Structure formats: structure tokens, C-alpha cells
């Protein structure tokens, strides 16, 4: 049996205020094409299908498109678990109906342990679905005094989940932070403190552990792998080669299938003059972050960069640290647009750019202030 492992799709995610939904639509097409070309029997999605617990209708439509392309059109089984970003109850709703189509979803522990056995050609394969959980859930469910995530996991595997079946293949899906895992900037809710970390040795009884939660693809144990996000979702992931993992359950061989992202993340650093020269000579559609090292970025500079780089996400100056005497004078501020003022302020104070919502509210507030009206 051939299994494809992926995770952390984060459908509906934005990159510094820029929606990536169309790129994720491309991803769904690539996934469906790969499943067809590789003759995949089952797809494993190890959590965080969505980026938020409540998502827009167009994001739900994309999820429906994913399920339709895989389960209905190709007859492939899909096993999915809720991650910490997912609305677990919503994700697992209509479970009996979805299973008739070949989509098996585990949302919350209280729904009971999920063990599905598939018997096709070759050795039977058992799938164990362990959704994201916290220590309090395990205490409440089992009545046992787990002190941390490690003890909680051990209790679930020993007393709650069915045991791996001897003589057959056993696959575990889990959304966990395994000790030794490398985080990326978009792992914004991964807890690095020891209380939330578990050891891979707890899961050695399984032939393969399909992990989700961390965004960098990596091996964290003898049999445990993070597939990583299928697309780069932060600048810290810009140099990672994203891939799907394909497992053959007969010999447990594992292959990486590269995913060619439909966009490129790029960072450039230099003097204002050098960056403007580069922009003039090499305009680009890349998602770009610019750092100017020797000067403030004036309104006309920002507009120049924006013309050359339509997908510019951030242009900021590192020439002055917060609190230095290089602050703009009132006269200089008057020459800047409201957009540039907000970007400069948030970059200097918090090291980030404003979200689309923040920018819209700020511009609205400025408009009302100019009119002398109240919001």
C-alpha cells in the first residue's frame, strides 16, 4: 500500500496580510495530481488543515474541493486529524457521512479512539488517529494525573488507544512537538518549553509516525517524520525544500516528492541606493522583504519599490534603533503618507508590518480625524 503523508496545510493563511488562497488552490491541484501519478492508496493529513478555528466560506470550499478530488474522483482514502489551529468539532462533524466517502477525521479525544484497518493487497495496515490534545483533556478523559504532555501521551498510548497489531503494519497520525524538532517562524503556537515536548521513543511500537505541528520537514526519531508545510508560510521557510512523503507499507521505504511552490519568498538587504538600483534593473513578482541599512525610507522611495515589486510585503530601515535621535521631524512626517507612517511605526516599535485589517482601520481613523468626526 502506498501512503502520502502531508500536514499543516493551514488553508486560509495570510502572509503579512497577503492572502495565499490562490496558491493553496494550486497546491490542492498538485496534491491530486501527485496522488494520481504515484497511485497513492491513502493520504495522511496530520493536523492543521485550517489556519483558524473559524474560516471564511471560500476556505471551506477549498477544503471541499480537496476532499472531492481525492475521495470522490479518485477513490482514495484520506485520514486526517485536528491540529491546534483547527476547529476540531467543525472538522469532525458529519463523521459517519464523510467516512462513507472515504474521509476519516479525528477531532477530539472525547469522540473515542480512532483505529481503522485497511486490507488490500499485501500486509493489512492499521491507522491510529491521535488529534491534538492538552494535558487537562487527558486527565478528564482517563482520570489519571498526567503532569505534562509526555505523561499524557504515554497514558493515551497505553490505556486509551488500541495497541498496534502484531504481524501487521501500524501507522500513527499525531500532532505533537517531538523533542529535537526544529521550529520555523510560522510555528507561532509551537511551545518550546519542556512541558509541551514529548519523546519519539514513546511511539516506537508503530511502523511509521506521521507527524504534524512543526513546519520544517524533518526526521525526529527512528520511525517519526514531520512532512512540514507543503508551501512556505514565513520567511524563515524560504530556503526549505517542501515535499510530500510517500511510504510503501510493504518494505517501509520512504521517498520525498518535491513540491514546486508557485511563489518565491525573498529578502534583500543593502543601502537605499543599491536597493533602488537593483529594483530598477530587476523588477520581480516575488514576495519580498527589503531592509535599508543606511537611511530612512521616504514616501517616494516606498512608491518606487512598490512599482518594481508589486508583491512587496515590507520595506523598512534598520539604520536607526528605537529611541535614537534620528526620529523624523514633524515637517518630514507631514510629507509621508498614512500608510508609510503606520508601517514605520509598527516596524520600529514591534518589528512587524501592519495587517490588512490594521491598515484599513488606521486609514479610516485618519479620514475621520481629518473631517473632525467621531468613529
pLDDT digits (tens, 9 = 90+) for 153-205: 999 999 999 999 999 999 999 999 998 877 665 555 454 444 588 999 999 99
Question: φ and ψ at 273, to 5 degrees?
Answer: -65, -45
Provide CATH 3.60.21.10 ranges for the chain. 2-258
Per-residue HEC secondary structure of 164-196 comes to CCCCCEEEEEEECEECCCCCCCCCCCCCCCHHH
User: CA-CA distance, 56 to 45, in Å (whole number)?
Assistant: 21
Confidence of residue 16 (pLDDT cuts 50, 70, 90): confident
pLDDT digits (tens, 9 = 90+) for 69-99: 999 999 999 999 999 989 888 888 878 888 9
pLDDT digits (tens, 9 = 90+) for 131-151: 999 999 999 999 999 999 999
Q: Are 5 and 81 in contact (CB under 8 A)?
A: no
Question: What number of CA atoms fall less than 13 Å from residue 324's CA on the CB side?
Answer: 8
Q: Are 200 and 222 in contact (CB under 8 A)?
A: yes
* Helices assigned H by DSSP within the chain: 21-37, 57-67, 88-92, 95-101, 135-142, 149-155, 272-281, 299-308, 330-334, 338-350, 356-371
The pLDDT, as a whole number, for residue 24 is: 98
Answer with the residue of higher pLDDT: 271 or 191. Answer: 271
Q: Is residue 152 pLDDT above 60, yes or no?
A: yes
The b/e string for 40-74 (b: 16+ C-beta within 10 A; e otherwise) is bbbbbbbbbbbbeeebeeebeebbeebbebbbeee
Lowest mean pLDDT segment, chosen from 92-96, 102-106, 231-235, 327-331: 327-331
User: CA-CA distance, 225 to 4, in Å (whole number)?
Assistant: 12
Q: Is residue 235 pLDDT above 50, yes or no?
A: yes
Average pLDDT, the chain: 88
With CA atoms as reference, report the closest residue to 291 among 340, 249, 355, 347: 347
pLDDT over 70, % of the chain = 88
Which CATH number is 2-258's, of 3.40.190.10, 3.60.20.10, 3.20.20.70, 3.60.21.10? Answer: 3.60.21.10
Q: Is residue 340 pLDDT above 60, yes or no?
A: yes
Amino acid at each position: 500500500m502506498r501512503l502520502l503523508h502531508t500536514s499543516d496545510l493551514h488553508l486560509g493563511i495570510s502572509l503579512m496580510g497577503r492572502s495565499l488562497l490562490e496558491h493553496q488552490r494550486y497546491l490542492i491541484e498538485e496534491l491530486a495530481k501527485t496522488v494520481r501519478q504515484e497511485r497513492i492508496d491513502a493520504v495522511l493529513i496530520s493536523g492543521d488543515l485550517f489556519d483558524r478555528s473559524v474560516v471564511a466560506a471560500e476556505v471551506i470550499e477549498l477544503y471541499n474541493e480537496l476532499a472531492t478530488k481525492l475521495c470522490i474522483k479518485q477513490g482514495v482514502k484520506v485520514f486526517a486529524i485536528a491540529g491546534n489551529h483547527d476547529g476540531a468539532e467543525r472538522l469532525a462533524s458529519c463523521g459517519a457521512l464523510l467516512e462513507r466517502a472515504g474521509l476519516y477525521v479525528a477531532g477530539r479525544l472525547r469522540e473515542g479512539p480512532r483505529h481503522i484497518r485497511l486490507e488490500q493487497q499485501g500486509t493489512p495496515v492499521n491507522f491510529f488517529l491521535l488529534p491534538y490534545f492538552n494535558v487537562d483533556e487527558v486527565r478528564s478523559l482517563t482520570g489519571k494525573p498526567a503532569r505534562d504532555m509526555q505523561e499524557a501521551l504515554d497514558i493515551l498510548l497505553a490505556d486509551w488507544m488500541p495497541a498496534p497489531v502484531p504481524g501487521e503494519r501500524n501507522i500513527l497520525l499525531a500532532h505533537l512537538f517531538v523533542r529535537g524538532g526544529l521550529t520555523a517562524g510560522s510555528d507561532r503556537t509551537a511551545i518550546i518549553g519542556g512541558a509541551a515536548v514529548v519523546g519519539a521513543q514513546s511511539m516506537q511500537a508503530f511502523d511509521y509516525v506521521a507527524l504534524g505541528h512543526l513546519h520544517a520537514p524533518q526526521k525526529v526519531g527512528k520511525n517519526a517524520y514531520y512532512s512540514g508545510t507543503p508551501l512556505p508560510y514565513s520567511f524563515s521557510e524560504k530556503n526549505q525544500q517542501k515535499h510530500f512523503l510517500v511510504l510503501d507499507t510493504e518494505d517501509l521505504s520512504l521517498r520525498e516528492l518535491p513540491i514546486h511552490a508557485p511563489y518565491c519568498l525573498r529578502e534583500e538587504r543593502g543601502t537605499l541606493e543599491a536597493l533602488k538600483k537593483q529594483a530598477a534593473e530587476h523588477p520581480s513578482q516575488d514576495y519580498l522583504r527589503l531592509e535599508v541599512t543606511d537611511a530612512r525610507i521616504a514616501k517616494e522611495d516606498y512608491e518606487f519599490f512598490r512599482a518594481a515589486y508589486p508583491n512587496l510585503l515590507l520595506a523598512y530601515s534598520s539604520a536607526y534603533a528605537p529611541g535614537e535621535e534620528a526620529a523624523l521631524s514633524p515637517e518630514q512626517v507631514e510629507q509621508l503618507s498614512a500608510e508609510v507612517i503606520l508601517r514605520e511605526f509598527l516596524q520600529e516599535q514591534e518589528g512587524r508590518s501592519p495587517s490588512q485589517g490594521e491598515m484599513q482601520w488606521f486609514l479610516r481613523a485618519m479620514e475621520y480625524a481629518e473631517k473632525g468626526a467621531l468613529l
